Structure 1
Amino acid sequence: MQYKEIRRKDRIWNSEESDELLSNAEYGFLAFADENSGYGIPISYAREENKLYFHCAPEGRKLEALKNCANVSFAVVGKTRVRPNEFTTSYQSVIAQGKILQVFEEEEKRKALRLLLKKYSKGFEDIGEKYIDSSIGRTAVLRLDIEFVSAKTKGEKKMQK
C-alpha cells in the first residue's frame, strides 16, 4: 500500500496497526464530490488487499455521485480520547483515497457480499448465502481501488493498546 505524504510528520502512523484498523473498523465514512456539494456517508465495508467493497441499493445518491466523479476518500477512526485540560484529542485515523466503480460482474459481486458476510455476520454464513442468492439482483456493489493511504495518530504514546 502506498502511503500519502502528510504535513505533520510527528503524527504519521504507517504500521501494521493502521493497516489493521483499515481492515477491521466497524464502519467508515465514504466521501464523494457530488455535482453541487460534497457528499459523505457512514457505511459498512469489507476489505480485500487494496480494495474496499460496499453494498447499496441499485439507485440513489451514491450512484449519482459516482457518475459525477469517481475519485473518493474513505476514512476510519480508531481509538479516541478527548483531553479537555490540554485542549486536544488523542486519536487514530486512516484515510484511503482512490477511484470507486460499480461492480456488475456477478462473481465479483458475490465475492464482495461474502466478504461483508464474513466480517459482519460470522457464524451465519449458510443463511447469508441464501440471502445473497435472493437479493443479489437488487443489490449494487461498489469497489474502491485504493491508490493512497494516509494514517495519523496523536497522543498517549500514539494510542497504544
Structure 2
Amino acid sequence: MPYDNSAVRRQDRLLDEARARELLAGSRFGVLSLVDGDGAYGIPVNYVWDGDDSLYVHCAPDGRKLRCIDRRDRVSFCVVGATEVCPAQFTTAYESIVLDCRARRGLPPGERMRALELLLEKYSPAHKTTGLRYAEASFARTEIVRLDVVAWSGKTKRVH
C-alpha cells in the first residue's frame, strides 16, 4: 500500500504517513466515490481497515453502489480528520487522506465473515458476541466489498 505524496500539488501541506495511518484506522466513516454511467456517485460509508492493504465496506447485496462497481472497479475513498473553520483568517485547518482503490466483491464466505468481525470490533466492541450472531443470521443479506489500496496520499493545513 504505497503512501505517495509526490502528486500532491501543495508540497508544503503534506500529511506524514504515521498520521495518515492513524486517520485510516480511527476514523468512523469515509466517502466512497464511484463512476455511475456518465456521472459520479459519492456516498459516506462505515468501513474498517485490515491494517495492511485493504478496507472493507458492508452493504445490501444489491444497489447503486454495487452496480457502479460492476461497471468500473476503480474507486476513490476519502477520509477527513480534524477540521476547523478559521473565520478571521478566511481559511480552514484540516487533514485528509485520499485512497485510490480497486473494489472487489464476490469474496469467499470466510473473508466476508472476517470483515464483519473486524467491523464489529471497530464499531460495537462491547456487543461483539451479539453482533456475530446477528451477522450469521443476516449473512445471506449482506455483501462485503473489499477496497484494495493501489496508492494513497494525505494533506493537512495547520493554522496558527
TM category (shorter chain) comes to over 0.9
Count the aligned residue pairs: 157
Change (3 A) 1:59 1:29: same
Aligned twin of 2:56: 53
1:28 to 7, 13, 30: 30
Whole-angstrom CA distance in 1 between matches of 2:112 and 2:46? 15
CA deviation digits over 1:35-64, x for unaligned, max 9? 121000000000011100000000000110
SS at match of 1:74: strand
Unaligned runs of 5+ in 1: none
Counterpart contact for 1:102–1:143, Cα < 8 Å: yes
- Tell me, in whole angstroms, the C-alpha distance in 1 between the residues paired with 2:32 and 2:65: 9
Name which of 142, 153, 156 aligns with 1:139. Answer: 142
Asked if the contact 1:103/1:143 (under 8 Å) is kept, the reply is no
Q: Which SS does the other structure have where 1:38 is aligned?
A: strand
Q: Secondary structure at the match of 1:124?
A: helix
1:120-157 C-alpha deviation (Å, 9 max, x unpaired): 00111110110111011110000000011110000236
Residue in 2 that maps onto 1:15: 17
Query: Percent identity, aligned pairs only?
Result: 39
- Structure 2: any 5+ residue segments left out of the alignment? none
**Normalising to structure 2: TM-score of the pair?**
0.94
TM-score by length of 1: 0.94
Match of 1:81 in 2: 84
Residues 3 and 14 of structure 1 are in contact (CA less than 8 Å); yes or no, is this contact kept in structure 2? no
Q: Tell me the secondary structure at the aligned position of residue 96 of structure 2.
A: strand
How big is the shift at 1:83?
Answer: 1.0
Alignment-mate amino acid for residue 31 of structure 2: F
The secondary structure found in structure 1 opposite 2:105 is strand
Secondary structure in 1 matching 2:125: coil
Structure 1 residue 85: Cα displacement: 1.6
Counterpart of 1:3 in structure 2 is: 3
Looking at structure 2, the residues matched to 109 and 118 of structure 1 have their Cα atoms a distance apart, in angstroms, of: 14
d(CA) in 2 for partners of 1:14, 1:92: 10
Where do residues 88-107 of structure 1 align in structure 2 (5 Å cutoff)? 88-107=91-110
Q: CA RMSD in A?
A: 1.1
Distance in 2 (CA, whole Å) between partners of 1:116 and 1:76 is 17
Q: Which amino acid aligns with 2:39?
A: S
Runs (4+) of structure 1 exceeding 3 A deviation are none
CA-to-aligned-CA distance 1:7-53 (integer Å, 9 cap, x gap) = 11001112311111011101010000111210000000000111000
